[in-house]
């Protein structure tokens, strides 16, 4: 796990701002409550990369870690390639999912 404030090798895929490691700064999605990732407030929180505009990397679908790296977008459908630094899972994240 990176130290708090460590910059990611990649920039935010939404706004291109630097991504920095935060502790408990990411709210995980809760499909039953209709919340989305990156929102502030209650709910389960995770460590992970976040930009100054509160955008976050997608969590790993296997272990739910937010310690993920993203690269390369595809335009149809819009998606990101991602890799989990915790379990080494490689996955594709659809940008339509939120």
Question: What span, in angstroms and rounded, lies between the C-alpha atoms of 47 and 41?
Answer: 15
Question: What span, in angstroms and rounded, lies between the C-alpha atoms of 39 and 82?
Answer: 21
In a domain, 88, yes or no: yes
pLDDT in tens, 52-69: 998 888 889 998 888 888
The number of folded domains in the chain is 1
In a domain, 79, yes or no: yes
Q: What is the pTM of this model?
A: 0.69
Domain that holds residue 85: 7-94
Distances (CA, A) of 26 to 43, 57, 64, 67, 85: 10, 9, 12, 11, 16
Q: In the predicted model, what is the mean pLDDT of the chain?
A: 80
In a domain, 58, yes or no: yes
In a domain, 2, yes or no: no
- The DSSP code for 43 is S
pLDDT in tens, 69-93: 888 766 667 788 899 999 999 999 8
Question: What span, in angstroms and rounded, lies between the C-alpha atoms of 76 and 9?
Answer: 25
In a domain, 1, yes or no: no
In a domain, 22, yes or no: yes
């Amino acid at each position: 796990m990176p130290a708090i404030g460590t910059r990611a090798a990649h920039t935010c895929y939404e706004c291109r701002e630097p991504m920095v490691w935060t502790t408990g700064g990411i709210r995980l999605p809760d499909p039953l409550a209709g919340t989305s990732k990156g929102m502030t407030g209650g709910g389960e929180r995770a460590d992970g990369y976040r930009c100054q505009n509160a955008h976050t990397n997608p969590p790993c679908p296997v272990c739910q870690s937010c310690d993920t790296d993203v690269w390369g977008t595809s335009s149809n459908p819009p998606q990101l390639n991602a890799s989990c630094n915790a379990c080494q899972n490689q996955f594709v994240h659809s940008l339509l999912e939120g």
